[in-house]
Structure 1
Amino acid sequence: MDTIYDVIVVGGGPAGATAAYFLGKAGRRVLVIEKATQPRYKACGGGLSLSFLESQFPFSFDSIIETDVEAITYVLDEHSVTIPLPTSEMRMVMRDRFDAYLLAQAQAEVWQGVAVRKVTETPGCVSVETSDGRTATGILLIGADGANSVVAQAVGLRRGKALAAAIEVEVFPEVMDRFASNPVFIFGEVRHGYLWIFPKASHLSVGIAALHPKPGELQVTLRRVMSRNAISLDGFQMHGHPIPLYTGREAITTRRVLLASDAAGLADPFSGEGIRLAITSGRLAAEAILANRPEQYEKMIFRQIGFSQWCGLGLSWLFYHFQMVCFIFGAHNPFVTRAFINLLSGRVGYPTVVIRIFATLPLFLLSEGLIQLAGLVGGPKKRRWLRTRIYPA
């Protein structure tokens, strides 16, 4: 008799591996189907909060950490600011090693190197057919197979999805030391988007992301800006990928199918980062299934992620329409920068950041006024002294 799985997970990335880990740990019979063979390259900046990982999993990720992040630099035109990060807050990973490591923790059967060709949902079960001719049947299915999800298309979900685009290159420049432990975000070079330079153990991950870019715009802009930073892309392969945008207006479940991560459109609306939301959605999918309430998954996603996504979209619109004003205010307002650090670590969502921005605006303006007045009376030394008293590290 053919095996009937409790849950079939399509996609062995962070969302699928997380769901498989918690479901398998609880004794569910799980099958993971991954079209690639892990470890495999995946275009991704790879920035993660260590405290977030520690809050989600009971095991260590130390063996796959590429670099520790000591500070983040933001650049807009001739303006730049470097913000020190708390100890042990941010880490850089390579997705090939990270994904393979996370999937290895799952107590699940894994089919690798095979793609899902067909998904059939019936009132009593869901079945999949793979590229090597195998068929699997499960009670439920989690679609964690990316922005161009085969599962979503098969069951009629997310047909009107909004997408941004990104390009990434792994390079080995002579200027590696300039960016060690210090990721850089560059704004103002592409409409509704940004570029990045992320340090890894032996190379840099550089890239660009934007909403609805013109054909060829990302490649040209990426080469131009990286050349300005003494980083040549000649001889290195560019990897492009879509970034989905979740609005909460589209269904991400059917009776027996739950979408997670990029398949559900879950990426950070401001930065496009997706690992944190992938892990969160995979965990929520597992929790809903283990509670025998898979129909509640969509509500759980909206409660924990959806409203924050809306606030993030609003903040993103505000920033990209008023970049200089927002950049100067945000970069030099320690109340806001602390909120963003907490956002990166998963401790707060975008609603908290928005509240912090508007709640601290009067205090920030008053503080800056006093600092500038101190500078006029006592000179630069007095200005620096007062700034350190008002904004302690």
Structure 2
Amino acid sequence: MNRSIESFDVVVVGGGPAGATAADDLARQGRSVLLLDKAGRIKPCGGAIPPRLVRDFGIPAELIVARITSARMVAPSARAVDMPIDEGGFVGMVDRDVFDEWLRTRAESHGAARRTGSFEGILRDTDGTATVAYRPKGAPDDAPPVHVRARCVIGADGARSAVGRQEVKGAERVRCVFAYHEILRAPQGEAPRYDGQRCDVYYQGRLSPDFYAWIFPHGDTVSVGTGSARKGFSLRGSVAVLRHATGLDQMETLRREGAPIPLKPLRRWDNGRDVILAGDAAGVVAPASGEGIYYAMLCGRLVAEAADAFCRTGDARLLRTARSRFMRLHGRVFWILGIMQYVWYASDRRRERFVSICQDADVQRLTWQSYMNKELERRDPLAHLRIFFKDLAHLVGLARA
């Protein structure tokens, strides 16, 4: 047994919302935690967070850079349908560079150790304990990696996770949408097609053949982006078209970012021994919408609870509880959204009908209630029944688009 290197209860690889939340929760529980994160990486993300996230994770108001009070859905024909949020409600928008760093700093303030560097792999010590190898930021190329021991490793290192590919069966086969966005200086003067309190979502095949494009306000900046799983589709070209069509091509471009986004939760999150995945690494991004921040943070919390139970008992079976609890809470929503994406995003003809459905008052009310509270709205079963038959009518062409 090598006792000359540092040892931690848990090493968390990746400091996004999932990893930072897991590290924070574990540190609050008194666990020794190392949070290892690359410097300077910002995930392309619309930055929307629901009120449920603000409440559950204690997010301060100063991190919310814009308050969205409506969404505009734009069909292939350019017809737009506005979906206002009920009076007083809003969706918060955050800048991921500031938001993620705040989460990491909070974890550190509660006792987590922070290191900046690149994960290189997991080795096994003579007694079988995991040893995480990483290369510190700025280290010479010929410098040996740093090794730390861990009773448990949490891989929160994004879609196509290096931790997952090494340790968790099936993680190497995750299907992804590739997302790309450009952060612009927000219009300060007259901009007829831009509203700083409205998210615009474009369901147009020219902008994305299998997903959607977006314009999301962030206060002083704006995110313009798109996503697609289709190889060869030009994401940058799509964003350029959208910017030109909306007059945002005149705005200063501050930065450009791209990254894969998983399409569905992995069937397994742990290796049955001492490694478990969280966030994008576990595939917890909502189909159809691409929403990930709330689900990543909830996943990080559930994974932290499972890791704490494992460290307390040594029973690796407890690592499985994180996925089963998450799917019990949100598996049905992910299943419904997956079907919705498969059915309604298949062609411009169907996208046109999907935007038509968004005009419906029941659809708007139940969509916002479910999104804001992260629960399927069950208080009005007749509304769900009405939506089902309206969806069916649109799908078979009996309703006017």
Amino acid paired to 1:298: R
Contact 1:9–1:141 (CA under 8 A) maintained in structure 2: yes
The equivalent of 2:156 in structure 1 is: 144
TM-aligned CA distance change 1:173 to 1:202, over 3 Å: closer
Contact 1:20–1:108 (CA under 8 A) maintained in structure 2: no
Structure with more relative contact order (C-alpha pairs < 8 Å, separation 6 or more): 2
The equivalent of 2:244 in structure 1 is: 227
The equivalent of 2:280 in structure 1 is: 262
**Cα displacement (A) at 1:306:** 3.2
The answer to whether residue 240 in structure 2 is matched with residue 240 in structure 1 is no
The answer to whether residue 132 in structure 2 is matched with residue 128 in structure 1 is yes
The answer to whether residue 345 in structure 2 is matched with residue 341 in structure 1 is no
TM-aligned CA distance change 1:225 to 1:362, over 3 Å: closer
Distance (whole Å) between structure 2 residues aligned to residue 356 and residue 17 of structure 1: 41
The equivalent of 1:326 in structure 2 is: 354
Contact 2:185–2:252 (CA under 8 A) maintained in structure 1: no
Distance (whole Å) between structure 2 residues aligned to residue 335 and residue 109 of structure 1: 46
Distance (whole Å) between structure 2 residues aligned to residue 136 and residue 70 of structure 1: 47
Secondary structure (helix, strand or coil) at the match of 1:258 reads: strand
Which residue, 338, 344, 349 being the options, matches 1:313?
A: 338
Contact 2:72–2:198 (CA under 8 A) maintained in structure 1: yes
The equivalent of 1:46 in structure 2 is: 47
Identity of aligned residues (%): 26
Instruction: Note the alpha carbon deviations across 1:103-129, whole angstroms, 9 max, x for none.
Output: 111124333331111112577532111
Distance (whole Å) between structure 2 residues aligned to residue 311 and residue 15 of structure 1: 23
**Cα displacement (A) at 1:98:** 0.5
**Cα displacement (A) at 1:315:** 1.5
The equivalent of 1:79 in structure 2 is: 79
Contact 1:36–1:112 (CA under 8 A) maintained in structure 2: no
The answer to whether residue 98 in structure 2 is matched with residue 97 in structure 1 is yes
Which residue, 160, 165, 169 being the options, matches 1:153?
A: 165
TM-aligned CA distance change 1:25 to 1:229, over 3 Å: same
Distance (whole Å) between structure 2 residues aligned to residue 281 and residue 151 of structure 1: 16
The equivalent of 1:251 in structure 2 is: 268
The equivalent of 2:115 in structure 1 is: 112
Distance (whole Å) between structure 2 residues aligned to residue 270 and residue 245 of structure 1: 9
**Cα displacement (A) at 1:196:** 0.6
Distance (whole Å) between structure 2 residues aligned to residue 342 and residue 9 of structure 1: 34
Distance (whole Å) between structure 2 residues aligned to residue 176 and residue 125 of structure 1: 59
**Cα displacement (A) at 1:253:** 0.7
The answer to whether residue 327 in structure 2 is matched with residue 298 in structure 1 is no
Contact 2:160–2:172 (CA under 8 A) maintained in structure 1: no
Distance (whole Å) between structure 2 residues aligned to residue 61 and residue 171 of structure 1: 25
Amino acid paired to 2:355: F
Contact 2:65–2:92 (CA under 8 A) maintained in structure 1: yes
TM-aligned CA distance change 1:214 to 1:235, over 3 Å: farther
Contact 1:168–1:207 (CA under 8 A) maintained in structure 2: yes
TM-aligned CA distance change 1:362 to 1:226, over 3 Å: same
Contact 1:32–1:108 (CA under 8 A) maintained in structure 2: no
TM-score, normalising length: structure 2: 0.81
Contact 1:73–1:185 (CA under 8 A) maintained in structure 2: yes
Amino acid paired to 1:360: R
Contact 1:14–1:275 (CA under 8 A) maintained in structure 2: yes
The equivalent of 1:376 in structure 2 is: none
Contact 1:164–1:209 (CA under 8 A) maintained in structure 2: yes
**Cα displacement (A) at 1:357:** 6.9
The answer to whether residue 60 in structure 2 is matched with residue 61 in structure 1 is yes
1:145-184 to 2 correspondence within 5 Å?
145-157=157-169, 158-172=171-185, 174=187, 178-184=194-200
Contact 1:173–1:232 (CA under 8 A) maintained in structure 2: no
**Cα displacement (A) at 1:235:** 6.6
The answer to whether residue 9 in structure 2 is matched with residue 6 in structure 1 is yes
TM-score, normalising length: structure 1: 0.83
Distance (whole Å) between structure 2 residues aligned to residue 172 and residue 356 of structure 1: 45
TM-aligned CA distance change 1:95 to 1:247, over 3 Å: closer
Contact 1:141–1:256 (CA under 8 A) maintained in structure 2: yes
Distance (whole Å) between structure 2 residues aligned to residue 117 and residue 233 of structure 1: 42
Amino acid paired to 2:200: V
TM-aligned CA distance change 1:280 to 1:233, over 3 Å: farther
Which residue, 267, 275, 287 being the options, matches 2:293?
A: 275
Contact 2:306–2:319 (CA under 8 A) maintained in structure 1: yes
Distance (whole Å) between structure 2 residues aligned to residue 126 and residue 362 of structure 1: 50
List gaps (5 residues or longer) in structure 2. Answer: 137-144, 311-317, 392-401
Contact 1:128–1:136 (CA under 8 A) maintained in structure 2: yes
Distance (whole Å) between structure 2 residues aligned to residue 30 and residue 336 of structure 1: 44
